[in-house]
Amino acid sequence: MSGNEERTFIAIKPDGVQRGLIGEIIKRFEQKGFKLVAMKLIQADEDLMRQHYCDLKDRPFFPGLVRFMSSGPVVAMCYFCDIFLGSNAIDSKPGTIRGDFCIQVVRNIIHGSDSVESANTEINLWFKPEEICDYTKCQDSWLNG
């Protein structure tokens, strides 16, 4: 991992899984050169989703968000990359995952960590340390000198 990269957590939400967008979303991260180090398809229960979104527990939409996120499978991923997606689906531009595929604010296809701190918390919630692969991509030496 180079000095300017961080781990980030990305989850393809139930609507993205149901709509068959898993491959398209992963493709976009791969094309950017980001390194996938962990991935699993999981049917998250409401307890996990309450933990994941605990910072939103006092918001009026929290119960619906927890129900939605536990309504179907989620693809949980950990990448080494220097971006954080945040949660603003309304302002998503065409060409972005949300801009191209989002239908509603809550059903916005993808979740991404919004800071280093939240990424570390989310990664530790969804993955055991032994589930995260440590490897060097062959292209790293070509691209990074």
Q: Which residues are identified as catalytic?
A: 111
Spatial CB neighbours of 58, under 8 Å, sequence gap ≥ 6: none
Instruction: Give 48's contacts (C-beta < 8 A, 6+ positions apart).
Output: 70, 125, 126
- Pick the closest to residue 129 from 59, 93, 78 (CA basis): 78
By C-alpha distance, which of 7, 16, 41 is closest to 123? Answer: 7
